[in-house]
Amino acid sequence: MGRVGSLARALVAVLLRGPSAARSNDPATRPDSGAQEERGTMTVSRIATTSAPAAVGPYSQGVSTGQEAGSLVFVSGQVPLDPATGALVEGDIQAQAEQVLKNVGAILAEAGLGYDDVVKTTVLLADIADFAAVNEVYARYFTGETLPARAAFGVAALPLGAGVEIEAIAARA
């Protein structure tokens, strides 16, 4: 399914919501970081950076619930796309995991946070046999005394034929 499935989802989004539903990797068309929306008593701000790939669907790279201590940052699932080209990176699962974690880091940095601020990750693997290889890369990025909580799942397929996808939740100290 891979690329065909992603293209089909994008086409359905355009048909249902109009041309603005399509997303581009062109930095000039990306929404600015910091756009805010009031949701009850909480303000949600969009996080957007050209240092990470554009979302491949109708969602934000990340969102923040505020700038004060205790507020949260949610980083959408990142696949191993090169931010400059929008193409899937070449190489084995470790090269893919490396790019995914760089993308997660770029979105965290846009929000003023780093890997030590991450409290939870979810790792999705197209082949659960890649678990140990991805862990080797993951352990180079998450090195603090208190490591994030984490769930890891084997899945049937990931967007664009990726081998790994990682999402993260970070908390402001």
Whether 21 is covered by a domain: the verdict is no
Whether 19 is covered by a domain: the verdict is no
Would you state the pLDDT for residue 60? 97
| Cα end-to-end distance, the chain, whole Å | 41
Instruction: Report residue 43's pLDDT band, with 50, 70 and 90 as the boundaries.
Output: confident
Query: Do 83 and 52 contact (CB within 8 A), yes or no?
Result: yes
The count of other CB atoms within 10 Å of the CB of residue 72 is 16
Would you state the pLDDT for residue 36? 66
Distance CA 131, CA 133 (A): 6
Query: Do 163 and 135 contact (CB within 8 A), yes or no?
Result: no
Whether 17 is covered by a domain: the verdict is no
Whether 6 is covered by a domain: the verdict is no
**Can you give the CATH number for the domain in which 117 is found?**
3.30.1330.40
Whether 141 shows a pLDDT value over 80: the answer reads: yes
Tally of domains within the chain: 1
Structural domain that includes position 116: 45-172
Whether 13 is covered by a domain: the verdict is no
DSSP for residue 14: H
pTM score of the predicted model: 0.79
Whether 147 is covered by a domain: the verdict is yes
